[in-house]
Amino acid sequence: MTNNQAWPALPLDEWEDTRATLHMWMQMVGKVRMAFSPLINHWWEVPLYVNARGLTTSPIPHGDEIFEIQFDFIAHTLDILTSGGARASLTLRPCSVADFYRELMGTLQSLGINVKIFTLPSEVIEPIHFEKDDVHASYDSDYANRFWRILVSADTVMKEFNSRFIGKVSPVHLFWGGMDLAASRFSGRRAPERPGADLVQREGYSHEVSSVGFWPGAGPGTDAVFYSYMAPVPTDFSKSQVRPAAKAFFSNELGEFLMKYEDVRLADSPKDVLLEFFQSTYEAGATLAGWDRATLER
């Protein structure tokens, strides 16, 4: 792939309606996975994963068998496959979240997969229960495919970045709550209790962590960005000199370093720029936090 194919333009104002609808569809599928999966540290039983066609749940346990749900952003279908040999597909097309929810639940039931999920979306402003959401009903197949191709490229870079670390490291996974692709490194030390933290935060940030990721933006006036943060945040992290100096910046509002997707996309080598951003922000935070880098790094 050329850079233009691997890192396509993703102007939020042109695909926001599709993004918002797809976000709700992804949440449904993720909640199905979560309903059948045992808890794994930091909620790692929750995310979706990038694959050669789109996004997948990976195998989900169901009795003595398994099943898998995959968004195919090439053929634009949602495919459900079981280890018993059954298969069903839904067409990804402009339709309401409510209609998609009814179709998904009906298809799962026809395959003998009976599941109840909490239908209120997570991590969104003014959430609407899936079965009542006739507001979000857009699907632009070109932009869905662009979003997936960016995820493929980012996933590849994050896996290379992960390979440099021999301590505990997460898979590269897409958390459907925030719709962000992320990878996390851990120092091995427990983190201090977070005052006022809910169950999700307590489990997600139980140990010191350095995370990097990609977020496609949401709502008016936002841009797709790559991010890097530490939890807990070490003193003077925001003052760190990170690279590339002309593109990376610290957001006081979010408490993390950001770099606009568009700056990465237009770089001579998006991969090299992104690795430089991930590496320099990690090194700054891990050094300030006193991580045992000699032991943890390859």
pLDDT tens string 77-96 = 999 999 999 999 999 999 99
**Could you say which of 83, 103, 132 is where a domain stops?**
132
Assigned domain for 17 exists: yes
Q: Are residues 145 and 82 in the same domain?
A: no
Peptide bond into 195 cis (omega under 30): no
Pairing of strands 249-251, 77-82: unpaired
* 158 and 263 housed in the same domain: yes
Domain that holds residue 23: 9-132
CA distances 224 to 23, 181, 228, 249, Å, are: 15, 12, 14, 14
- pLDDT above 70 covers a percentage of the chain that reads 98
The predicted-structure confidence for 211-268, as pLDDT tens digits, reads as follows: 999 999 987 668 899 999 999 999 999 999 999 999 999 999 999 999 999 999 999 9
Q: Is residue 1, in this structure, part of any structural domain at all?
A: no
The Cα–Cα gap between 245 and 30 comes to: 37
Tens-place pLDDT, residues 45-80: 999 999 999 999 999 999 999 999 999 999 999 999
Phi, psi of 156 (to 5 degrees): -65, -45
Share of the chain residues as helix, strand and coil, in percent rounded to the nearest 5: 35, 25, 40
Q: Does 102 share its domain with 241?
A: no
User: What's the total number of domains in the chain?
Assistant: 2
149 inside domain = yes
For residue 206 the two structure tokens come to 């139980």
Cβ proximity of 209 and 202 under 8 Å: no
Q: Are residues 187 and 214 in the same domain?
A: yes
In the chain, what percentage of residues exceed pLDDT 90?
Answer: 92
Cα Rg of the chain, angstroms: 19
Q: What is the DSSP letter of 147?
A: H
Is residue 122 over pLDDT 60?
yes
Mark whether 159 and 286 lie in a shared domain: yes
Task: Give 193's DSSP letter.
Answer: P
**Beta-bridge partner residues of 297:** 165
296 has pLDDT over 60: yes
Distance CA 76, CA 79 (A): 9
Could you tell me if 161 and 87 lie in one domain? no
Rounded distance between C-alpha atoms, residue 78 and residue 241, angstroms: 44
Of 132, 158, 178, at which residue does a domain stop? 132
Long-range contacts formed by 275-278: CB under 8 A, 24+ apart = 275/157, 275/160, 275/161, 276/243, 276/244, 277/226, 277/228, 277/242, 277/243, 277/244, 277/247, 277/248, 278/157, 278/158, 278/161, 278/212, 278/226, 278/228
Per-residue pLDDT band for 124 (boundaries 50, 70, 90) equals very high
Q: Are residues 283 and 228 in the same domain?
A: yes
Residue 212's closest CA among 128, 121, 293, 278? 278
Q: How far apart are CA 221 and CA 236, in angstroms?
A: 29
Please check whether residues 148 and 248 belong to one and the same domain: yes
Report pTM: 0.96
Mean pLDDT estimate for the chain: 96
Look at residue 4 and tell me if it is in a domain.
no
